[in-house]
Amino acid sequence: MRRWLLVVGVALSNLGCASQPTPAPAMSGEAWREAQRELAALQSDFAPTAGTLRVRVRMTATGHDVVMSGRGAIAQRPPNDLRMVLLGPGGMTALDLLVRGDQWRFAIPARDQLWTSEQTSKPPRGLPVSFLRWWLLQPLSGRLLSAHQGPGGTVFVLREGDATVRVQHRGDGLRMDRKSPSGTERMEVSGTGCSHAVYEHVEGRIRVAVQCEEAVEGVEERAFEAR
């Protein structure tokens, strides 16, 4: 746990100015309409649903050993709410993340550590808030800018707020690269539903791998209540 806190501190100290994303060229005609149809099909296939995932999580950082690993659960209610709780030795809560719309709260109860959206508008690098929002709440929510054929299939370029996102369908899963003023993020998802996801923040040198072990439909309101 100390190593994990150290990496969070390193990530905070390495905050820098990332280059502004460059939008891809516009499209027109039948190619544009076909890209829209193909993207709509992906959005339908990967549309998140309310439920609870039993997960195994592993977080690492370049130059360090394993920073944090554990099992727990993620409750999700798209498009705005999620809760992730991971357990440590003895069944104690090692990590508690709550996201409700633009508001978020990240706690490590055993060390009395707490970060919230009231302290900073954007989560610091090293906290998996952006990753979980991206994967479980709004994975393909951007506006289509363009598309082109890559070696593995169609590559879509989306605009999502201040970020430019490149999306490619790979087998049953997705590969996504997002560039914004906060840096470069990458995510690979093995498939729809209960799947495996790997997230990287390039500048923060953070890697988070989540393996879903079981999915349960539906979620109760109390899952999103602050404790």
Residue 226 has phi, psi (to 5 degrees) of: -65, 140
Q: What is the CATH number of the domain that holds 78?
A: 2.50.20.10
Do 157 and 150 form a contact (C-beta atoms < 8 A)?
no
Q: How far, in Å, CA of 44 to CA of 140, rounded?
A: 10
Range of the domain at 58: 2-7+18-224
User: Residue 13: inside a domain, yes or no?
Assistant: no
Q: Read off the tokens for 220.
A: 């109760």
Condensed to tens digits (0 to 9), the pLDDT of residues 21-46 reads 444 455 568 889 999 999 999 999 99
Q: How far, in Å, CA of 61 to CA of 4, rounded?
A: 9
User: Residue 154: inside a domain, yes or no?
Assistant: yes
Condensed to tens digits (0 to 9), the pLDDT of residues 107-133 reads 988 888 899 999 877 777 667 888 999
User: Residue 55: inside a domain, yes or no?
Assistant: yes
The DSSP output letter for 118 is: T
- Return the residue matching tokens 């920073």: 67
Q: Which of 15, 21, 17 is nearest to 180 (CA)?
A: 21
- Return the residue matching tokens 């900073």: 120
pLDDT at 78: 96
pLDDT at 205: 86
Give me Rg for the CA atoms of the chain.
18
User: Residue 12: inside a domain, yes or no?
Assistant: no
Per the structure, the count of domains in the chain is: 1
User: Residue 119: inside a domain, yes or no?
Assistant: yes
User: Residue 188: inside a domain, yes or no?
Assistant: yes
- Which residues are within 8 A (CB) of 95 and not within 5 positions of it... i.e. 6 or more apart? 68, 70, 72, 84, 85, 86, 106, 107, 108
pLDDT at 126: 67
pLDDT at 150: 86
pLDDT tens, per residue, the chain with 227 residues: 444 333 333 333 343 344 444 444 555 688 899 999 999 999 999 999 999 999 999 988 776 555 778 899 999 999 999 999 999 878 889 899 999 999 999 998 888 889 999 987 777 766 788 899 999 999 999 999 999 988 888 999 999 999 999 999 998 999 999 999 989 999 999 999 999 999 999 988 889 999 999 999 999 999 998 87
pLDDT at 57: 94
